[in-house]
Amino acid sequence: MECRLVATHLNVQAGECIKVKGKILPEAKGFAVNVGKDRSNLVLHFNPRFDSHGDVNVIVCNSMEDGMWGTEERETDFPFQQGDKTEICISFDTAELTVKLAGDKEIVFPNRLGLQNIEYLSVEGDFAIKAIKFS
Ligand SMILES: CCCO[C@@H]1O[C@H](CO)[C@@H](O[C@@H]2O[C@H](CO)[C@H](O)[C@H](OCc3cn(Cc4ccccc4)nn3)[C@H]2O)[C@H](O)[C@H]1NC(C)=O
Protein backbone atom coordinates (compact mmCIF):
# COMPACT_ATOMS: atom_id res chain seq x y z
CA MET A 1 0.00 0.00 0.00
CA GLU A 2 0.98 3.65 -0.44
CA CYS A 3 3.58 5.19 1.87
CA ARG A 4 2.62 8.88 1.90
CA LEU A 5 5.34 10.44 4.01
CA VAL A 6 8.37 9.53 6.09
CA ALA A 7 10.11 12.11 8.29
CA THR A 8 13.14 11.40 10.47
CA HIS A 9 15.44 13.27 12.87
CA LEU A 10 12.43 15.23 14.17
CA ASN A 11 13.38 15.48 17.87
CA VAL A 12 9.79 16.22 18.98
CA GLN A 13 9.83 16.66 22.75
CA ALA A 14 7.30 15.52 25.35
CA GLY A 15 4.47 18.07 25.58
CA GLU A 16 4.81 19.11 21.96
CA CYS A 17 2.19 18.16 19.39
CA ILE A 18 2.41 16.53 15.95
CA LYS A 19 -0.56 17.61 13.81
CA VAL A 20 -1.40 15.72 10.60
CA LYS A 21 -4.04 17.31 8.38
CA GLY A 22 -5.37 15.73 5.24
CA LYS A 23 -8.18 14.09 3.34
CA ILE A 24 -9.28 10.47 3.63
CA LEU A 25 -9.64 9.00 0.15
CA PRO A 26 -13.22 8.31 -0.98
CA GLU A 27 -12.72 4.55 -1.25
CA ALA A 28 -10.38 4.31 1.72
CA LYS A 29 -9.82 0.87 3.26
CA GLY A 30 -7.51 2.27 5.93
CA PHE A 31 -4.62 4.54 6.76
CA ALA A 32 -1.96 4.75 9.44
CA VAL A 33 0.06 7.38 11.27
CA ASN A 34 3.23 5.99 12.87
CA VAL A 35 5.45 7.80 15.37
CA GLY A 36 8.48 6.58 17.25
CA LYS A 37 12.25 6.22 17.15
CA ASP A 38 12.46 4.66 13.67
CA ARG A 39 10.46 2.37 11.35
CA SER A 40 11.11 -0.67 13.59
CA ASN A 41 10.49 1.05 16.92
CA LEU A 42 7.09 2.70 16.93
CA VAL A 43 5.67 4.15 20.10
CA LEU A 44 2.33 4.41 18.28
CA HIS A 45 0.92 2.84 15.14
CA PHE A 46 -2.46 4.61 14.78
CA ASN A 47 -4.46 2.69 12.20
CA PRO A 48 -8.07 3.59 11.38
CA ARG A 49 -9.60 0.70 9.40
CA PHE A 50 -12.69 1.28 7.27
CA ASP A 51 -12.58 -2.25 5.89
CA SER A 52 -9.25 -4.06 6.21
CA HIS A 53 -7.76 -7.04 7.98
CA GLY A 54 -11.30 -8.16 8.77
CA ASP A 55 -12.05 -4.94 10.68
CA VAL A 56 -14.82 -2.47 9.77
CA ASN A 57 -14.75 1.03 11.26
CA VAL A 58 -12.23 0.23 13.99
CA ILE A 59 -9.18 2.19 15.11
CA VAL A 60 -6.31 -0.20 15.83
CA CYS A 61 -3.46 1.14 17.94
CA ASN A 62 -0.26 -0.73 18.60
CA SER A 63 3.44 -0.36 19.30
CA MET A 64 6.41 -2.03 17.63
CA GLU A 65 9.73 -2.79 19.33
CA ASP A 66 12.71 -4.03 17.31
CA GLY A 67 10.33 -4.94 14.49
CA MET A 68 7.93 -6.94 16.70
CA TRP A 69 4.33 -5.82 17.11
CA GLY A 70 2.96 -5.40 20.63
CA THR A 71 -0.57 -6.04 21.81
CA GLU A 72 -3.27 -4.21 19.87
CA GLU A 73 -5.74 -1.86 21.48
CA ARG A 74 -8.97 -1.30 19.52
CA GLU A 75 -11.43 1.59 19.53
CA THR A 76 -14.86 1.19 17.92
CA ASP A 77 -15.99 4.79 18.45
CA PHE A 78 -14.93 5.70 14.92
CA PRO A 79 -14.94 9.46 14.09
CA PHE A 80 -13.78 9.11 10.47
CA GLN A 81 -15.68 9.16 7.17
CA GLN A 82 -14.33 8.17 3.76
CA GLY A 83 -13.77 11.29 1.64
CA ASP A 84 -13.66 13.64 4.62
CA LYS A 85 -10.96 16.06 5.65
CA THR A 86 -9.58 15.33 9.09
CA GLU A 87 -6.90 16.38 11.57
CA ILE A 88 -5.00 14.15 14.00
CA CYS A 89 -2.97 15.70 16.82
CA ILE A 90 -0.53 13.45 18.70
CA SER A 91 1.08 14.59 21.94
CA PHE A 92 2.92 12.51 24.52
CA ASP A 93 4.84 12.25 27.73
CA THR A 94 7.00 9.42 29.07
CA ALA A 95 3.86 7.60 30.30
CA GLU A 96 1.35 7.87 27.46
CA LEU A 97 0.39 9.34 24.12
CA THR A 98 -2.82 11.29 23.51
CA VAL A 99 -4.40 11.37 20.06
CA LYS A 100 -6.88 14.23 19.63
CA LEU A 101 -9.45 13.67 16.90
CA ALA A 102 -12.45 15.46 15.43
CA GLY A 103 -15.43 15.98 17.71
CA ASP A 104 -13.25 16.43 20.80
CA LYS A 105 -12.59 12.69 20.79
CA GLU A 106 -9.35 11.52 22.43
CA ILE A 107 -7.54 8.20 22.44
CA VAL A 108 -4.87 7.54 25.07
CA PHE A 109 -2.24 4.86 24.46
CA PRO A 110 0.63 3.81 26.76
CA ASN A 111 4.18 4.90 25.92
CA ARG A 112 5.39 1.30 25.98
CA LEU A 113 8.85 2.24 24.72
CA GLY A 114 9.31 5.00 27.33
CA LEU A 115 10.45 7.36 24.59
CA GLN A 116 11.39 10.86 25.74
CA ASN A 117 11.36 12.25 22.22
CA ILE A 118 9.93 11.29 18.83
CA GLU A 119 12.35 11.15 15.91
CA TYR A 120 10.20 9.35 13.30
CA LEU A 121 6.84 10.03 11.63
CA SER A 122 5.25 8.16 8.75
CA VAL A 123 1.82 8.29 7.11
CA GLU A 124 0.62 5.32 5.07
CA GLY A 125 -2.44 4.18 3.19
CA ASP A 126 -5.52 5.92 1.84
CA PHE A 127 -4.79 9.43 3.09
CA ALA A 128 -3.84 12.56 1.13
CA ILE A 129 -1.70 14.76 3.39
CA LYS A 130 -2.42 18.51 3.30
CA ALA A 131 -0.20 19.72 6.14
CA ILE A 132 2.07 18.53 8.92
CA LYS A 133 2.60 20.89 11.87
CA PHE A 134 4.78 20.62 14.92
CA SER A 135 3.82 22.87 17.82
C1 LIG B 1 -6.53 -13.16 15.06
C2 LIG B 1 -5.12 -13.53 14.64
C3 LIG B 1 -4.61 -12.59 13.56
O4 LIG B 1 -4.70 -11.24 14.13
C5 LIG B 1 -4.48 -10.28 13.11
O6 LIG B 1 -3.05 -10.29 12.82
C7 LIG B 1 -2.75 -9.33 11.78
C8 LIG B 1 -1.29 -9.51 11.39
O9 LIG B 1 -0.45 -9.21 12.47
C10 LIG B 1 -3.05 -7.91 12.33
O11 LIG B 1 -2.79 -6.95 11.28
C12 LIG B 1 -1.62 -6.18 11.47
O13 LIG B 1 -1.86 -5.28 12.57
C14 LIG B 1 -0.70 -4.42 12.81
C15 LIG B 1 -1.01 -3.60 14.05
O16 LIG B 1 -1.15 -4.48 15.16
C17 LIG B 1 -0.48 -3.53 11.60
O18 LIG B 1 -1.64 -2.72 11.36
C19 LIG B 1 -0.20 -4.45 10.39
O20 LIG B 1 -0.08 -3.65 9.21
C21 LIG B 1 1.23 -3.06 9.07
C22 LIG B 1 1.19 -2.40 7.74
C23 LIG B 1 1.13 -1.08 7.51
N24 LIG B 1 1.06 -0.98 6.19
C25 LIG B 1 0.96 0.25 5.40
C26 LIG B 1 -0.51 0.58 5.38
C27 LIG B 1 -1.09 1.10 6.52
C28 LIG B 1 -2.46 1.43 6.47
C29 LIG B 1 -3.22 1.22 5.34
C30 LIG B 1 -2.62 0.66 4.22
C31 LIG B 1 -1.27 0.30 4.26
N32 LIG B 1 1.05 -2.16 5.63
N33 LIG B 1 1.14 -3.06 6.60
C34 LIG B 1 -1.38 -5.40 10.19
O35 LIG B 1 -1.02 -6.32 9.14
C36 LIG B 1 -4.53 -7.82 12.68
O37 LIG B 1 -4.83 -6.53 13.24
C38 LIG B 1 -4.86 -8.91 13.70
N39 LIG B 1 -6.30 -8.86 13.98
C40 LIG B 1 -6.73 -9.05 15.23
C41 LIG B 1 -8.24 -9.03 15.39
O42 LIG B 1 -5.99 -9.22 16.18
- In the chain, the amino acid numbered 30 is G
Is 48 near ligand 1, meaning CB less than 6 Å away?
A: no
Closest Cα to atom 2 of ligand 1? 53
pLDDT per position as a tens digit, 9-64? 999 999 999 999 999 999 999 999 999 999 999 999 999 999 999 999 999 999 99
Ligand 1: centre distance to CA 26 (Å): 21
pLDDT in tens, 60-117: 999 999 999 999 999 999 999 999 999 999 999 999 999 999 989 999 999 999 999 9
How far, in Å, from the CA of 53 to the mean position of ligand 1? Answer: 6
Where are any strands of DSSP class E within the chain? 3-7, 12-13, 17-24, 31-38, 41-49, 58-65, 68-69, 73-75, 85-92, 96-100, 106-110, 117-118, 120-125, 127-134
Residue 132 Cα to ligand 1 midpoint, Å, equals 24
What does pTM read for this prediction? 0.97
ipTM of the modeled complex: 0.95
32 ligand 1 Cβ < 6 A:
yes
| Residue nearest atom 15 of ligand 1, based on CA coordinates | 62
